[in-house]
Amino acid sequence: MHACEFFPSEEPPLRSNLEACLRWLGNEVSKIHGLKAFLLAGGYGRGEGGVFFPPDGSAPRLYNDLEFYLFAPPVPSKVLAAWTHEGESRLGIEIEIKVMDPAGFEAAKPSMFYYDLLSRHVLVAGDQSWIDSLPNKLSDAAIPPEEGSRLLVNRGMSLLRCRRWAQGETELPAGFCERILSKLKLALPDSVLCAMGSYHWSCLERNQRLSTLPEVPPDWEVLRAWHTEGVAFKFRPTDSGRPPADWAEPIDRLCRAWLSTFLWIEARRLSAGFPRPDDYAFSSKKIFPKEPVFKNVIRQIRDLRRSEHLPFCGGDHPRSQIWKSLVLLLDGSAEPEAAKLLGAPGLRGIALEERCRALWKHYP
């Protein structure tokens, strides 16, 4: 592993500690038979990781989780757990190692995740030539417009939890809400860039591209200002320690912005009109028109074997029910209809939102 830029600022002790951990982890992973590559991804892998400066003046520390992707045959869970535990004890931050089948990755469809991963990463162990030989479809910027909507759905699921927290109805880890809201401020304009074919792996470059788009959703200048705030938080995160009630109004504004932006993107993607949340939720138009009907039916039949499954949704992808219900839940005015879409007509409140999240994990 060569010298790397993990974050924009110069923090020699922090950088040295991270590099030492990566060298140790790389040596361990290199023992795997059939290893193709072991990559550090996410913000630190792209040189845009966050550094947290504690208010008490103590030494700066890493802020974001470390995301690793291991392209190799299956690895025993005990081995992965041992690596993760040791890495976390060295760095004091959560580590996640995802094992991916190299052949499956080579045959994968383009996505925002694959583009980000291959555009910028740190090769911790393995063969750079294998990375360089991957199909161009995984590394170019031709990301399907659907990926912008998927990004917003991912952030919207966390926004549900933040809203309940602000209402005093659930507990969240310290700083969770502030971090999620900052990610949403980035994601709103980023999803528009994706929809317009202008996405880029760097948040700084994306911020510059926001001024050049030919079409934009409502309240664009507000979204642009939020994106700039999100970039600043990404590089130098904070934890204000504000009580939940103080976040109620900002969360409400972000919910409204999420709805208007998501509906704008989906209307453009599907060549339809969705002026209101219920227009989207009850539309007869397929949300995933490129997915073969027979595959969608097979998915639904397979899902009947699970204790948690969705109602039959015809020829559309089961994911469509989750996206539609999320729109209704964030709108906050149609819980009974959302419950029907999720196959749980008796659920309300937190229980209904948790069901939505549980089903979403099957179809992220």
**DSSP symbol at 295:** H
What is d(CA 88, CA 361) in angstroms, rounded to the nearest whole number?
Answer: 25
Of the ranges 39-53, 126-140, 147-161, which one carries the lowest mean pLDDT score?
A: 126-140
Same domain as 184, residue 132: no
What pLDDT sits at residue 2? 46
Say which residues have a Cβ less than 8 Å from residue 210's Cβ, sequence separation at least 6: 189, 193, 223, 224, 227
Domain-terminating residue out of 270, 300, 320: 270
Domain that holds residue 208: 143-270
Answer whether 8's CB lies under 8 Å from 47's CB.
yes
Which DSSP string do the residues of 165-194 spell out, in sequence order?
Answer: HHTTSS---TTHHHHHHHHHHHHHHHHHHH
* pLDDT tens, residue by residue, 89-125: 999 999 999 999 999 998 888 899 999 999 999 999 9
Of residues 142 and 360, more confidence is placed in 360
What pLDDT sits at residue 101? 94
Of residues 132 and 70, more confidence is placed in 70
The answer to whether residue 294 scores a pLDDT higher than 80 is: yes
pTM of the complete model: 0.92
Distance from the first to the final alpha carbon of the chain:
33
Same domain as 117, residue 24: yes
Same domain as 69, residue 51: yes
What pLDDT sits at residue 252? 96
What pLDDT sits at residue 4? 62
Query: How many distinct structural domains can be found in the chain?
Result: 3
* pLDDT tens, residue by residue, 212-250: 999 999 999 999 999 999 999 999 998 888 899 999 999
Domain-terminating residue out of 139, 169, 203: 139
pLDDT band at 307 (very low <50, low <70, confident <90, very high): low
The answer to whether residue 142 scores a pLDDT higher than 90 is: no
Does the residue 322 lie in any domain?
Answer: yes
